[in-house]
Amino acid sequence: RAQSDPAISVQPWMQELGDGVDAAPYGVPSPFEADVKRRNVEWLTADPVSSVNFTPLHDLDGIITPNGLCFERHHSGVARVDPAQHRLMIHGLVERPLVFTMEDLKRFPRENHVYSLECAANSGMEWRGAQLNGCQFTHGMIHNVMYTGIPLRLLLEEAGVGTEGKWLLAEGADAAAMTRSIPMEKALDDCLVAFKMNGEALRPEQGYPLRLVVPGWEGNMWVKWLRRLEVGDQPWHHREETSKYTDLLEDGTARRFTWEMDAKSVITNPSPQAPITHGPGPTVLTGLAWSGRGTIPRVDVTLDGGKNWQEARIDGPSLPKSLHRFYFEFDWDGSPLLLQSRAHDSTGYVQPTKAELRAFRGVNSIYHNNGIQTWAVAADGSAENVEIS
């Protein structure tokens, strides 16, 4: 092929000067990458203002999600906050109620941590069967970012939290005034009040200028446009922890306060939006695995729907409560495949099959679906979302 390939000859871009350094003071991706974007599923929500879009996981590699591709979920649209007018208030059961400006906050010691945020509703549409055709839609309510922020503990200590302060209410400055109750133990453990993501200011969609980071816990608790923290002695039972973000079981009772995100994984390539186009031979399979409880020491992959499992190769940093990248290189013989991945986390927990999950939780849930995903790859390389028993 090398000798007959016209692309080896001199191309137009070798025959003209390119743009100078002033053409894009804030860089943008190559126009040839225009297909790499967040996508919405129109029928999922009544209105794009209170809606969700999805991270294009099949177009990414490594573990970090670029800021412009982080999925967005907002209940009342993106608040347009002027940082000069933004305040963070701490009140309730504290010795000294405090109000911080952004400048005040930037005088506290900072930390940097990579954490994944997964919406509890990620894969929620798949509870009763295979539904959406692409890992962007089945698993794309997740992003993985390096946050720069202040340990929440330092701000709570500054305000003086006593032993009667058992719970914390976090409220956002958007029109939804999103509010969640967080146990004080978690607030004092590893939560951050973040103002940077991947080195730059938070994007408006992600809560500019300030967001709460609640590592390993469901995305709904990561309050964006954070404006108020109230210390109390019991949870508030607001909408997002009663009518929403609870799981109705078969016996009519509901699980509540299901904060931690269980271990989960997905093969991002091949997948319905990323078919095998090169034919039989050397093939790179890759995917993501994560756990709200720690790291991922092991991922297994099967090509035949679970008859034979082999260990995948994890590459890149293995950080707690962060995405992990895995690879499995194989020689494809061109026959149909049933691809699955299975994550093991550092607590010893193993990702369940969807059947195992349903046996335990029934079929009424939306949230917390961490079941094993199957892609059926046909002989022509195309891939489809399926379920096998």
Can you give the binding site for ligand MTE, defined by CB under 6 A? 70-75, 117, 119, 143, 172, 174, 176, 178, 205-206, 219-220, 222-225
Nearer to ligand MTE, 121 or 372 (CB): 121
Nearer to ligand MTE, 198 or 346 (CB): 198
75 interface partner picked from ligand MTE, Co ion, none, CB below 5 to 8 A per type: ligand MTE
161 interface partner picked from ligand MTE, Co ion, none, CB below 5 to 8 A per type: none
98 interface partner picked from ligand MTE, Co ion, none, CB below 5 to 8 A per type: none
C-alpha 365/C-alpha 204 separation (Å) is 31
Nearer to ligand MTE, 174 or 300 (CB): 174
Largest CA distance in the chain: 78
**Residue 149 near residue 132 (C-beta atoms within 8 A):** no
* Residue number closest to ligand MTE, CB atom: 172
361 interface partner picked from ligand MTE, Co ion, none, CB below 5 to 8 A per type: none
Nearer to ligand MTE, 217 or 326 (CB): 217
Measure the N-to-C terminal CA separation of the chain; round to a whole number of Å: 43
DSSP 94: B
* Residue number closest to Co ion, CB atom: 119
User: What is the nearest approach in angstroms of Co ion to the Cβ of residue 121?
Assistant: 5
Nearer to Co ion, 231 or 323 (CB): 323
| Residue given tokens 């939290």 in the structure block | 161
User: What is the nearest approach in angstroms of Co ion to the Cβ of residue 228?
Assistant: 20
**Residue 296 near residue 315 (C-beta atoms within 8 A):** no
225 interface partner picked from Co ion, ligand MTE, none, CB below 5 to 8 A per type: ligand MTE
Q: Which residues bind Co ion (CB under 5 A)?
A: 73, 119, 219-220
Nearer to ligand MTE, 227 or 344 (CB): 227
C-alpha 365/C-alpha 361 separation (Å) is 7
User: What is the nearest approach in angstroms of ligand MTE to the Cβ of residue 290?
Assistant: 15
User: What is the nearest approach in angstroms of ligand MTE to the Cβ of residue 80?
Assistant: 13
Nearer to Co ion, 264 or 325 (CB): 264
Of residues 189, 197, 142, the one with CA closest to residue 168: 189
Stated as kind and residue range, the H or E segment containing 254 is strand 254-255
C-alpha 66/C-alpha 71 separation (Å) is 10
Angle among Cα 55, 57, 62 to the nearest 5 degrees reads: 120
C-alpha 276/C-alpha 273 separation (Å) is 10
User: What is the nearest approach in angstroms of ligand MTE to the Cβ of residue 75?
Assistant: 4
Return phi, psi of residue 204, to 5°: -50, -40
C-alpha 40/C-alpha 56 separation (Å) is 11
User: What is the nearest approach in angstroms of ligand MTE to the Cβ of residue 68?
Assistant: 12
Query: Would you state the structure tokens that stand for residue 7, as one six-digit string?
Result: 């692309």
Return phi, psi of residue 196, to 5°: -130, 145
3 state DSSP class of 330: strand
User: What is the nearest approach in angstroms of ligand MTE to the Cβ of residue 25?
Assistant: 25
User: What is the nearest approach in angstroms of ligand MTE to the Cβ of residue 294?
Assistant: 21
The stretches of 68-225 forming alpha helices (DSSP H) are: 102-105, 135-139, 152-159, 184-189
Nearer to Co ion, 119 or 377 (CB): 119
